[in-house]
Amino acid sequence: MNKIELNKVSVIYPVFENSKARSLKNTLTSKLIGGNIHQKNNKNYIRALDDISLEIKQGDRYAISGANGAGKSTFLKLVAGCIEPSHGYINRAGKISSLLNLSMGLDGELTALENIELRGGLYNFTKKEIRRFSDDVLNFSELEHYANIQISQYSSGMSLRLAFAMSTYIAPEILIIDEIIAVGDSNFQEKSKKRIEKLMNKNSILLLASHSSDLQEYYCNKKVNFNKGKIELSKI
Amino acid sequence: MIFFYDLLNASKSWRVWSSLAKFDIIKRYKRSFLGPWWITLTMAILILGIGILYSQLFKLDFKNYLLYLSINFTIWAFMRDSILESCQTLIEAKALLHNEKWNILIFTFRVIYKNFIIFLHNIIIFLILGIFLIDQLSIISVLMSISALFFLVIFLLPICILCSIINTRFRDFYMIISNIMQLLFFLSPILFKKDLLLSFDWLLYINPLALFLLMINEPILTNQFNFSYLSYLTIYFIICTCFTAFIFLRYKNKITYWL
């Protein structure tokens, strides 16, 4: 059964605002000379998530809301597994996929076909699976005629269409979306909206960060509001 | 144990690191006339240039010296580039690491595999020279050299993992390592033969990279295999692996915070 359990989770980012904290020489000398004082006192931290406990069960479709810098993105990164908690414990059960950054690994120097092959490699696909993946992506993004052109020569709309088609190919059990992204011209926007809806219906847990209350009401059945790293559960 | 489990899992994801490495090379030589064969040509010019000058300086037989240089330079470039590039590998993969959960060891495999492909392009020079210049060669010597090369690849894994973790936290580590590598280049028997070291031959035994050069080139060039190199390297390997496993376990979860 798919679920995500967070038990008293905090995420604290260290801030390397000056190059001193990044310097091996400075760290070693301050340790040798008995320093460490300025390190401890001068080091800045950001407490992005503060003592959060939450249980997300199968069938839950959470809307994530909150002001900028309230901890939404950190929460999504934490659930996606990009970061581990500084304190507390998180248990993730299920295949997780995130649409946090559509352009993940997209390389302007490579053609669309090469980019598709590279992404297929990242998904650990076999050659046969890559061929199927490639057909689907080119067909959906309507870029068949531009498959052998470097994507640095694409318009921004075209490369977003390619990125969108690649990122939404796999239907995961737990889906994490940072804002619903409708890309391209009006025709393609309709198409991409349908594809993402299909994806959201297939998975058993959805986490959707969005500022639009219409979208939240439409897609979600629970809501969690972030405020300065803390959460409040509320009804849709 | 978690370290070895992660290592095993990363090696199983060979499709991921091999395609990353493949496109690293494709990207670098894209739209150039010779493509990846530029690697071979650059190395050939370097070997020829240095070969002509140093064979005169050291008063050595030009043909044999060329053979000696070609194998040493190829192995050295493989070791140096794997270690130096591994320092940057996690930083360069930031966009991927911030998007989903990754086994970070995959990125070390990527660097070593990429440099191994480059090594295969470079070793062609030695093979061509060898066909004309090596008189007698036993299969056992070739197998000894290949096994030593295989051990080198395994040995590079913990070293490169360690470098990638340290440099992600301390960004001046790369500069330190590139200076050390430059120093080691002159201290290792790459340009000169090890006999010239005389009473300084202990320098070989404190430098695992030099031992690897000897362990790979001696069977094929002189039909000798010195088991003391292997025993020293095994000790270095065990120490390095344990230390890397310790650092990995301790800081594994902090690495994405440092990016």
At how many degrees (to 10) do helices B37-57 and B105-133 cross?
60
Give the model's pLDDT for residue A214: 82
| CA-based nearest residue to B248, from B145, B183, B141, B169 | B169
Higher per-residue pLDDT: B66 or A179 = B66
| CA-based nearest residue to B244, from B149, B97, B104, B145 | B104
Kindly report the average pLDDT of chain A as a whole number: 82
Q: Where are the beta strands (DSSP E) in chain A?
A: 3-15, 44-56, 61-66, 87-93, 96-99, 174-178, 205-209, 222-227, 230-234
Interchain pair B166, A82: CB under 8 A = no
Three-state SS for A148?
coil
Region of B241 (left: φ > 0; alpha: ψ -120 to 50; beta: rest) is: alpha
Residue B126's pLDDT band, with cuts at 50, 70 and 90, is very high
Residue A35's pLDDT band, with cuts at 50, 70 and 90, is very low
Residue B46 class from Cβ within 10 Å (0-12 exposed, 13-18 middle, 19+ buried)?
middle
Residue A93's pLDDT band, with cuts at 50, 70 and 90, is confident
Mean pLDDT across B148-156: 95
The pLDDT of residue B245 is above 80: yes
Identify the residue among A13, A18, A19, A24 best suited for mutation to test binding to B, counting B beta carbons within 10 A and taking the highest: A24
The pLDDT of residue A180 is above 90: no
Taking CB atoms and an 8 Å cutoff, what residues of chain B touch A126? 15
Residue B36's pLDDT band, with cuts at 50, 70 and 90, is confident
Identify the residue among B13, B100, B106, B170 best suited for mutation to test binding to A, counting A beta carbons within 10 A and taking the highest: B100
Give the model's pLDDT for residue A21: 63
- DSSP code, position A233: E
Q: Which of A117-121, A157-161, A199-203, B11-15 has the lowest mean pLDDT?
A: A199-203
Q: Which of A124-128, B149-153, B198-202 has the lowest mean pLDDT?
A: B198-202
Q: Does A173 touch chain B (CB under 8 A)?
A: no
Q: Does A211 touch chain B (CB under 8 A)?
A: no
pLDDT digits (tens, 9 = 90+) for B155-166: 999 999 999 999
The pLDDT of residue A42 is above 60: no
Query: pLDDT exceeding 70 applies to what percent of chain A?
Result: 88
Taking CB atoms and an 8 Å cutoff, what residues of chain A touch B23? 107, 110, 114, 117-118, 121
First to last CA, chain A: 25
The pLDDT of residue A18 is above 70: no
Higher per-residue pLDDT: A171 or B25 = B25
pTM of the model: 0.89
Taking CB atoms and an 8 Å cutoff, what residues of chain B touch A117? 19, 23
Quote the minimal CA–CA distance from B249 to chain A in Å.
13
Kindly report the average pLDDT of chain B as a whole number: 91
Query: Strands across the sheet with A61-66, in order?
Result: A96-99, A174-178, A205-209, A61-66, A222-227, A230-234
Quote the minimal CA–CA distance from B119 to chain A in Å.
22
Which candidate from B23, B95, B173 shows the least CB-CB separation from A118?
B23
| Partner A, chain B 137-176, Cβ-Cβ below 8 Å | 166, 169-173, 176
State the residue for tokens 């020569």.
Answer: A153
Half-sphere exposure in the Cβ direction for A70 (13 Å, CA): 15
The pLDDT of residue B45 is above 90: yes
Cα radius of gyration rounded to whole Å, chain B = 19
